[in-house]
Amino acid sequence: EVLQCIRDVIRDTSKPSWFGSVPGNFGDSSAGTIKADEWRSLITVYLPVALISLWGQPSSDTNMKSVLDHTMELLETTMLQSYIKGAKLRAWLSRPECPPAVQECKVLLDRAYGTKG
């Protein structure tokens, strides 16, 4: 039931062309091993939507509601920590004591995310 719901969300979710999707047969051996960007898409979009639709209703099993709450808390914490670490990295890359070879990472980050400065 859970796997089918995740597959339905993958299939039915409208997404921009640049957003990395996940194979529609996710979970089958024929789908192969998913790549890092597919994991990111799965964890940040498809899985939360699927789990909320399954276990986020008031009539849902309280044990599954607890699993949902815990999963969302872990996701929120992980994303927040990633943003904080990214901000600290960008700040360090802008400092004069950062080695020039490492400062090249800032140029690449700016190019990848379309930011300036």
Domain range for 26 is: 2-88
Global pTM reads 0.59
Residue 72's pLDDT is 85
**With 70 as the cut, is the pLDDT of residue 29 above it?**
yes
CB of 5 closer than 8 Å to CB of 11: no
Domain-located, residue 71: yes
What are the tens digits of pLDDT across the range 70-115? Answer: 888 888 888 888 888 888 888 888 888 888 888 888 878 777 776 6
Domain-located, residue 50: yes
Structure-token pair, residue 96: 């004069």
Residue 8's pLDDT is 93
Residue 117's pLDDT is 52
The rounded distance, in Å, linking the Cα atoms of 79 and 81 is 5
Domain-located, residue 117: no
Domain-located, residue 109: no
Domain-located, residue 28: yes
The rounded distance, in Å, linking the Cα atoms of 41 and 104 is 27
Residue 114's pLDDT is 67
- Helix H segments across the chain? 2-12, 36-41, 47-55, 62-94, 100-113
Domain-located, residue 41: yes
What are the tens digits of pLDDT across the range 46-63? Answer: 888 888 888 887 776 778
Structure-token pair, residue 49: 């939507």
Domain-located, residue 107: no
Domain-located, residue 108: no
Residue 2's pLDDT is 85
Q: Considering its fold, how many domains does the chain have in total?
A: 1
